[in-house]
Amino acid sequence: MDAGDFKLAFPKLARRLGDRDAGVLITLMREREVPAGATLMEDRALASSVFLVVDGEFRVEAPQGDDVSEIGRAGPGHWIGEIPLFCDEHISSSRVAAMVPSRVLELPHAQFWSARMNHPELVSVLTRELVDHMSERVRTLDQLITRLVQQRESQPGPA
């Protein structure tokens, strides 16, 4: 992806970064095609990259035993894998699979952390972008949890 395509795909992020850091970020990320049905991130697996969705759609699932429930969707402009980036153990806490043929930009954790030395402003903008994304997600999951708890409480108990 070149700078022009990046600006078109992610205008807000490109504006926040500015031309120079947007150019640097493009060199740190690699483009990846994800076929429909393929798993981008496995639950409870070691994760080494964070992803920015270019196009397509992903389903975020919380598997528990044989049950799998959907806890979110991620489309163009969404980030995937930010929890293991910031958690010390770097373990994913959900499964993420492509629903349709999709494309992502992959940023290895190592590139993110090493950019702190040479490009601190870039890492600052990315961190703020990820913080905004996580805040939104905390609110969404909060509502989902409340709904599920209320549903559970309204179910008749065992006879």
Q: Which residues bind other proteins (CB under 8 A)?
A: 62-65, 67, 69, 71, 82-88, 93-94, 116, 120-121, 123-125, 127-128, 130-132, 134-139, 141-142, 144-146, 148-152, 155
Least Å distance between CB 48 and other proteins? 15
Choice between 9 and 82, CB closer to other proteins: 82
Least Å distance between CB 66 and other proteins? 9
Q: What type of residue is 44?
A: R
Choice between 27 and 150, CB closer to other proteins: 150
Least Å distance between CB 49 and other proteins? 15
CA dist 75 and 73 (Å) reads 7
Least Å distance between CB 144 and other proteins? 7
Choice between 55 and 142, CB closer to other proteins: 142
HEC letters along the chain: CCHHHHHHHCHHHHHHHHHHHHHHHHHHCEEEEECCCCEEECCCCECCEEEEEEECCEEEEEEECCEEEEEEEECCCCEECHHHHHCCCCECCCEEEECCCEEEEEEEHHHHHHHHHHCHHHHHHHHHHHHHHHHHHHHHHHHHHHHHHHHHHHCCCCC
Choice between 1 and 144, CB closer to other proteins: 144
Least Å distance between CB 83 and other proteins? 5
Choice between 23 and 101, CB closer to other proteins: 23
